Amino acid sequence: MSATARLPAAMRLVSLSCTTLVLALGYAHAQQASQTPAPNPYSMGTEGLNQGPRGLTSYMPVAITVSFASLMARLSAEKPAVEQTHNALLSERYDLSDRPAQGVTMDRAKPIQEGVRIKLPAGVTWESLAAMSPDQIRDQNLYPKGFYPLPHPKHQEGGFVFPHFLIDAIKQQDGRDLKRFDIDFDLPDHFLAEFPPAIYLTPRTDLGDVSQGKLVSLTNYYQLFNGILTPRQLEGLRLLLTPFPQQQFNATEDRRAELPSQGAACFDCHSNGHQNGATHEAPDARPQWFRHRIKTISLRGLNVQRLFGSQRALKTVEDFTEFEQRTAYFDGDIVEATKKGVNPLERGSQVDFMADFQEMLDFAPAPKLDVFGKLDPAKATQAEMRGQDIFFGKGQCATCHQPPFYTDNLMHDLHTERFFKPVMINNMMAVGDGPIKTFALRGAKDNPPYLHDERLLTLEDTVEFFNLILGTKLAPQEKQDLVAFMRAL
Ligand code: HEC
Ligand code: HEC
C-alpha cells in the first residue's frame, strides 16, 4: 500500500496529537485576535488546520496585508516558544553533550564527536531492539525517537537557516546580515563540520588546501584565486559568492531579515565548497507539513556525482545550479520568485562557469586509502582493517556504498516507515523518507551531521541506524570497527 493511500486511516490514529496542536493554535489565535491576519490558507489542509494528506492550496500568500513592522514584532515574539518546543524535541531524541573522540580529528583540527547520541526508549538495548522485527518495533512504538525524520527548526515556515558562525563571518567580511528574526539554527556547533573548511582543487592537488584558512567570500576571492584559476572559473566562483534574492532574504515586507536584504549566495551554505550545516526544506512537496528538512550537501567530489539533490536527483550540475536559484530559493513557488526577485542565470556564460568551478572541488585527502579506495594494510590499524571486512561483508554496506568513493550513484528507498506509524512531529508529518541518494562516504568524518535531514549526529549513530534498517545484527565490537573504518575514508 502506498503512503498516501494509507494516510486517512493513519491520520485518525494520530488525531489525538493533532487535536492538541489545533487547540494550541486556536489558543495562540485567541491571544492575538486583534492584530492576527486571517488564517493562512497555505498552512491549512482539507481535513483541518495542518492535517490531512492534501493542502487547501499549493500557493503561498503573495499580497501581505500586515506591515513589515507588525509581522516582525509578532514573529519575534513567537520565537522563544517555537525554539523551546524544538529544543525539547532535540533533547528528547539526542544526548547533545560535547564528547570529542580521542586520536582523530576532521581534516584540519576540529574534534569529531564520539558515541551513540540517539536515546533509546525505556526498557530496550540496541541488541534487544535489533532482535525484534520491524512490525514488533512499530506496533510497540519502540523505534528510537532520533531515527524519525527530523523537522526543520521552524517546520511550519521552513526556509534558509544559517549557523551563527557563518552569519558572523559574512557580516564581518561582506557586510551582509543573514540573521533571521523568527528563528535561529538548532544543532550545537560541535556536531557541525569544520569552519571554514579547506578547499582542494582536482587539477592542482600539488597545492593542498588553497583557502589559506579563510572563508572565501566576495571580498577576498580574487586575491586568493587570481593566478590559480582560469578567467572562466574565476567568474564562476564570483557568481557562486554573489547574493541573489530569496524567500526569507529579499527587499519585500514578506522577508525574515530585519533590513531589506540583497539575498543569499550559493557559498553562504556551501562554505568553501563544502557545507556548514545550513538547513532548508525540500521544495518538492505540498502541503508544507509533508516537506522534508534537508541538509546542505557538500560539493566536494562533485565531479564523481551523477545525481544531484538528495531526493530530486537532477541529472547535471548545470541543471541543479539553475534550479537552486530559480526554484529552491523560493520553496518551489514560481509566483513568490517573481515577486521577490528571481535571477535567471544565462546558461553559456554563467551556469556553465559556476558548474566548472564546482566540478573542481576535491575530497579532503585520505592518506590510508589506495587507488582502489581500499585501506593500505601497511598504514591502517587492525580495527580499521576489521571494519573494512564488516563493511564489505556482514554489514552489507558496500552493496550501495561502492569504492573508490563509496557510492553507487543511485537512489534507494530504505523503507523506514516499516518501523513506525505516521505521526505529526512539531508541524512535520513523518511518513517515511522515500528514495534518497546514496551519499558518498569518502570524507564522511568531515561531513556531519548525517542523513539528508541531519537526523544523525555521529558515525556511531549511523551504524546503529543501518544495523536496524538492514537487519544485519552486528556485535558491539563489529560496530566499533565499522566506525574506525569509516573515519579513515
Ligand atoms: C540555503 C542553503 C543553500 C544555498 C544558498 C544553496 N544551496 Fe545548494 N544545496 C543546499 C541543500 C540543502 C542541498 C540538498 C538539496 C536536496 O537534498 O534536495 C543542496 C544541494 C546542492 C547540489 C547537489 C549536490 C549533490 O551532490 O547532490 C548542488 C550542485 C548545489 N546545491 C549547488 C548550489 C548552487 C550552485 C547554489 C547557488 C546557485 C546553491 N547550491 C545554493 C543548500 C543550499
Ligand atoms: C540499500 C542501500 C544502502 C546500504 C546497504 C547501506 N546504505 Fe548507507 N546510505 C544509503 C542511503 C540511501 C543513504 C542516505 C539516507 C538518507 O539520507 O536518508 C545512506 C547514508 C549513509 C550515511 C550518511 C552519509 C551522509 O553523508 O549523510 C552513512 C554514514 C552510511 N550510509 C553508512 C552505511 C553503513 C555503515 C552501512 C552498512 C552497515 C550502510 N550505510 C549500508 C544507502 C545504503
Q: Distance between alpha carbon 235 and the CA centroid of its chain, in Å?
A: 28
Residue in 274, 462, 470 to alter for ligand 2 test, most ligand atoms within 8 A of Cβ: 462
pLDDT of amino acid 29: 42
Task: Say if 182 falls within a structural domain.
Answer: yes
- For residue 272, being part of any structural domain is answered with yes
Examine the domain organization and report whether 175 and 301 are in the same domain: yes
Whether residue 77 lies inside any domain: the answer is no
Question: What is the rounded distance in angstroms from the CA atom of residue 194 to the CA atom of residue 218?
Answer: 21
Q: How far is the CA of 469 from the centre of ligand 2 (A)?
A: 10
Longest dimension (CA), the chain: 73
Give residue 35's pLDDT.
56
Which of 180, 295, 324 is the best mutation target for the ligand 1 pocket, counting ligand atoms within 8 Å of the beta carbon and taking the most? 324
Atom 18 (ligand 1): residue with closest C-alpha? 309
Q: Is 469 contained in some domain?
A: yes
**Cα(248)–Cα(241) distance, integer angstroms:** 18
Q: Are residues 391 and 442 in the same domain?
A: yes
- Give the predicted TM-score (pTM) of the model: 0.92
The three cell numbers locating residue 159: 526556509
Query: Rounded to an integer, what distance in angstroms lies between the CA atom of residue 372 and that of residue 139?
Result: 44
- Ligand 1 atom index nearest CA of 317: 29
Task: Please give the number of the atom of ligand 2 that sits closest to the Cα of 463.
Answer: 35
Pocket test for ligand 1, best of 312, 316, 320, 436 (most atoms within 8 A of CB): 320
User: Do 204 and 337 sit in the same domain of this protein?
Assistant: yes
45 and 118 assigned to the same domain = no
Ligand in closest contact with the CA of 276 = 1
Ligand 2 atom 39, closest CA:
397
Nearest CA to ligand 1 atom 42: 296
Q: What is the residue type of 221?
A: Y
Q: What is the pLDDT of residue 10?
A: 40
Domains in the chain: how many in total?
3
Q: What pLDDT, on the 0 to 100 scale, is given for residue 36?
A: 63
pLDDT tens digits for 443-472? 999 999 999 999 999 999 999 999 999 999
pLDDT for res 26: 40
Whether 299 and 408 map to the same domain: the answer is no
Q: What is the pLDDT of residues 168-217, one digit of tens each?
A: 999 999 999 999 999 999 999 999 999 999 999 999 999 999 999 999 99
Query: Which pLDDT value is given to residue 39?
Result: 82
Which ligand places an atom closest to the C-alpha of 149?
Answer: 2
Last residue of a domain, one of 315, 330, 359: 359
Range of the domain at 3: 1-59
Q: Which long-range contacts (CB under 8 A, 24 or more apart) does 351-355 make?
A: 351/318, 351/321, 351/322, 352/236, 352/318, 353/232, 353/233, 353/235, 353/236, 353/239, 354/236, 354/239, 354/240, 354/266, 354/321, 355/236, 355/316, 355/317, 355/318, 355/321
Measured by CA distance, the residue closest to atom 11 of ligand 1 is: 296
Dist. CA 215–CA 208, nearest whole Å: 16
174 with 320, same domain: the answer is yes
Ligand 1 pocket residue status of 354, Cβ below 6 Å: yes
Establish if 374 belongs to a structural domain.
Answer: yes
Query: Are 53 and 179 part of one and the same domain?
Result: no
The reply to whether 157 falls in a domain is no
Residue 46 backbone phi and psi in degrees, to 5: -70, -20
* 308/407 Cα distance (integer angstroms): 13
Mutate to test the pocket of ligand 2, among 438, 446, 456, 457 (most ligand atoms within 8 A of CB): 438
For ligand 2, atom 11, name the residue with the nearest CA: 438
CA of 466 to the centre of ligand 2 (A): 7
Instruction: Give the domain-ending residue among 59, 83, 101.
Output: 59
Backbone phi, psi, residue 152, to 5°: -60, 150
Ligand 1 centre and the CA of 324: distance in Å? Answer: 6
Q: Give residues (CB < 6 A) around ligand 2.
A: 310, 395-397, 399-401, 412, 414, 433, 436, 438-439, 441, 444, 447, 450-452, 459, 462-463, 466, 470, 472, 482
Ligand 2 center from residue 439 Cα (angstroms): 7
Residue whose CB lies within 8 A of the most ligand 2 atoms, among 299, 400, 460, 486, for a mutation test: 400
Task: Quote the radius of gyration of the chain (alpha carbons, Å).
Answer: 23
| Distance of CA 125 from the midpoint of ligand 2 (Å) | 22
- The ligand with the least distance to the CA atom of 437 is 2
**33 and 7 in one domain?**
yes
CATH of the domain at 120: 1.10.760.10
Could you identify the residue written with the cell 556504498?
401
pLDDT at residue 126, rounded to an integer = 97
Q: What is the chain's pLDDT, residue by residue, as a tens digit (489 residues)?
A: 333 334 333 443 344 344 344 434 444 444 444 456 678 889 888 877 667 789 999 999 999 999 999 999 999 999 999 999 999 999 999 999 999 999 999 999 999 999 999 999 999 999 999 999 999 999 999 999 999 999 999 999 999 999 999 999 999 999 999 999 999 999 999 999 999 999 999 999 999 999 999 999 999 999 999 999 999 999 999 999 999 999 999 999 999 999 999 999 999 999 999 999 999 999 999 999 999 999 999 999 999 999 999 998 999 999 999 999 998 999 999 999 999 999 999 999 999 999 999 999 999 999 999 999 999 999 999 999 999 999 999 999 999 999 999 999 999 999 999 999 999 999 999 999 999 999 999 999 999 999 999 999 999 999 999 999 999 999 999 999 999 999 999
| Centre of ligand 2 from the C-alpha of residue 318, in Å | 26
In-domain check, residue 66:
no
416 is written with which cell numbers? 523506514
**Structural domain contains residue 75:** no
| Pocket residue to mutate for ligand 1, from 167, 279, 296, most atoms within 8 A of Cβ | 296
Query: Which backbone phi and psi does 294 adopt, to 5 degrees?
Result: -135, 145
DSSP assigned state of 195: S
Ligand nearest to the CA of 435: 2
Whether residues 134 and 194 fall in one domain: no
Whether residue 322 sits in one domain with residue 245: yes
Candidates 312, 348, 343, 308; CA nearest to 326 is 343
Residue 483 and residue 393 share a domain: yes
Query: Can you give the pLDDT at residue 33?
Result: 44
Q: Is 310 in the pocket of ligand 1 (CB under 6 A)?
A: yes
Cβ of residue 274 lying under 6 Å from some atom of ligand 1: no
| Ligand 1 centroid, distance to 100 Cα (angstroms) | 29
Q: Which atom of ligand 2 lies nearest, measured to the CA of 444?
A: 26
173 and 148 assigned to the same domain: no
**Domain stops at, among 298, 327, 359:** 359
